[in-house]
Chain A
C-alpha cells in the first residue's frame, strides 16, 4: 500500500513564538497532524511518501518528515513552480502523484497557516478524479481496499468507510512532534532527497507557477494587530472596583482601567 502525504513548509514565525535557532521553514501544523496520524496507522508493507513543493529550504522540512517516520521524501523544486496558486499547486502535485504511481491514499492538512485557502485538497481530488473527504479527525482503519475515518460534519460526528484511492484532508492541527526519533533524524541528514523539476514531471509550464495561477495576490496587509493595553489588578474596595468595572463595560476611559472615580 502506498500513501502520499502533501507537506507545505511554512515560515517558522507563523508557528513558533520563540526560538531563534529553528530552521526558517517548519511543517504546516495541519500537515503535521495528518502526518502523525498516518504514521500511527502505518502497517508493515505500507509505504509513506512525503511530497513538498517549495524552495530549497524545504529540504530541511522534508528531512524532519523522515525523522518522524516516513519512508521517502520528494522535493518538487523548479523556478517555474514559484508563485503557484491553489490551482497551479494542485496541478504540480497531481503530476508528481501520477509519476509516483500506484498511490492508494493522498493525505493533506485542511489548510496552511500562511495561505489559509483550504482549497488544494479539493482541487487535487478534482484533478486526480478521486473522491475527497474533508474534515477528517483521524483514520481508524486502513487496508488495501478501504480507509475508515472519523470526521466532523457540521454538528454530526461521522464514521465513514471510503473506497480507495481517495484524497483526505485533516481538520486538526498541532505542533507536537509526537513520533520524532533522533536516530532517524540523524540518518535523514545524509538522506539524498529526490528532486523533481518541470522536466521530470513533464508538466505544461503554462499551467504552473504564476503563469498557471488564476489568482493574483496584489497586496498583503497585516490586520488585527494586537495592541497591548495597560492592565490593572482590581484589588481595591468593592465600591471602587464596581465603579471601574462599570467604566470598562461602558467603554469609558478608552477601555483602560484606572482607579479614578
Chain B
C-alpha cells in the first residue's frame, strides 16, 4: 500500500472543512432535510467527487474522496444531512456511473452530479432486511418495458429522491436472479409513502416505496439483466466504506470536544482529565480514530487500484460503527449530566450513531461476511 497524502489532497479536505463549518451547521435543519443546504453543497461541486469531468464531476481519486468525506464528518454536525449526501453519491449516482449504459449516463448523470436530481437505493423490504436476497419485489417482461410490483422499506432519501435504483427478482427457480432498475419517481405506478420518524438522523427522510404495476422502460435496466446481485454487492461495498468515512471525522470532532472539556472542568479541585478513568476514554477514542482512518485509506487505495475491498469494507464498517457508538457513549459519560441535555448535542450524536450498527447490513451480518470470506479463502 502506498497512500502518501499530497498537499492538494489536504487542501481539498480543508476546503470541505471550511465549507461545512460555515454552511452546513444551521441548527434549525438538524432534524429536518434542508433543500437550502442541499443547493449549497451542489454549488460547491462535492457531489461529483469521483465522477469524470465529462459529467461535471471532479474526477478525483477514491483516496481523495475518503479524505474529503472524513473532513465532511469532522466539520458538519448534521449527520442526517451527510447521510443524504452519501446515499445520493455512493449507492445511486455512483452505480449509474459504474454500471449504467451510455444512454443512462447521458440521461441521469449530469443532473445528479449537479444535484438537480436526488438519488436513492431500494433493496430492503419488510420481510427482507439482512436476508435481502429473499426479496419478493419482482419485474415482469412486457416486451418494450418491465412491470415492477412490490414494496420497499426504510428507503433513505425516499421522500426527497427523484431517481431510485430498485432491485427486483427477474428469474425465479432454483437460482433466483435479480436485476437493478433505474426508476424515476414520476414513473407510472411508483408511489412514495410518508416520512418514517426515526430515533436519529432526522435530516435524512426515510420512507416506504410502493411499486404497483410500475412501468419501467427497457433501457432503464442498470448493468446486465439478471446480474443485479453483482451490483447489489458492489453497492454494499461502496456504502460500507464511504458512508462510514465521515464517522471517522465525527469521532475526531467528538474526541477534540471531550479533550477540551476534561482540560477545563474541575471537580475535587483538579481537572477531570487527570483521572485515568477519564483520560483512558480519550485515549481509546484516539486509538479508534487512528485505526479507522488507516482502514479507510487502505480501502480507498484498493478501490483506486481497481481491486475488490468487500471484506475490508465489512471489517471497516464493523469496527467504525462499534467504536463510533462507544465514542459517543464515552463522550456522554465524560460530559455527565450536561451530556444528557439537548443543549450539548452529545445525546443527539449518540442517537445518530446508534443507527450505524444496523444500516448497511447489521454488525452481526458483517461478522458472517467476514467469516464466510476467510473460510472460502481457506478451503
Residues on A lying within 8 angstroms of B by beta carbon are 19, 21-23, 176-186, 189, 233
Residues B15 and A21 in contact, CB atoms below 8 Å apart? no
**Contact in complex: B22, A181 (CB < 8 Å):** no
Alpha-carbon separation in the docked complex, A19 to B304 (Å): 27
Residues of chain B with a CB closer than 8 A to A185's CB: 15
**Pick from A23, A182, A189, A233: contact of B45, CB under 8 Å:** A182
A residues near B19, Cβ cutoff 8 Å: 177, 180
Q: How far is the CB of A259 from chain B (nearest CB, A)?
A: 11
For chain B, what secondary structure do more than half of its interface residues adopt (helix, strand, loop), or is it mixed? helix
Per the bound structure, the CA–CA distance linking A178 and B39 in Å amounts to 12
A21-B18 contact given A180-B44, A186-B58, CB 8 Å threshold = no
Closest CB of chain A to B13's CB: distance in Å? Answer: 8
Residue B11 at the chain A interface, CB threshold 8 Å:
yes
Give bound CA distance, A28 to B213, whole Å: 60
Does B28 lie at the interface of the complex (its beta carbon under 8 Å from any beta carbon of A)?
Answer: no
- Complex alpha-carbon distance, A183 and B110, angstroms: 14
Residue-by-residue, is B40-73 near A (CB-CB < 8 Å gives 1, otherwise 0)?
A: 0001111011000100111010000000000000
A232 to chain B, nearest CB (A): 10
Q: Tell me whether B23 is interfacial, beta carbon within 8 Å.
A: yes
Q: Is the CB of B58 within 8 A of A178?
A: no
With known contacts A21-B7, A21-B10, A21-B11, A183–B22 Cβ distance under 8 A: no
B22 contacts A182, CB within 8 Å?
no
Per-residue interface assignment for chain B, residues 130 to 145, with 1 indicating a CB less than 8 Å from any chain A CB and 0 otherwise: 0000000000000000
CA A19 to CA B13, docked complex, whole Å: 11
Q: Are the CB atoms of B44 and A182 closer together than 8 Å?
A: yes
Known: A19-B14, A21-B7, A22-B14. A183 touches B56 (CB 8 A): yes
Query: Shortest Cβ distance from A77 into chain B, in angstroms?
Result: 21
Q: Do A181 and B43 touch across chains, with their CB atoms under 8 A apart?
A: yes
Residues of B near A180 (CB, < 8 A) are 15, 18-19, 44
Residue on A nearest B21 in the bound complex, by CB: A176
B8 at the binding interface (Cβ < 8 Å): yes
List the A side residues contacting B15 at CB < 8 Å: 177, 180, 182, 185
Tell me, in angstroms, the Cα distance from A184 to B15 when the chains sit together. 13
B272 CB–A CB distance under 8 Å? no
- Contact partners of A179 in chain B: CB under 8 A: 43
> Cβ of A182 and Cβ of B46 under 8 Å apart?
yes
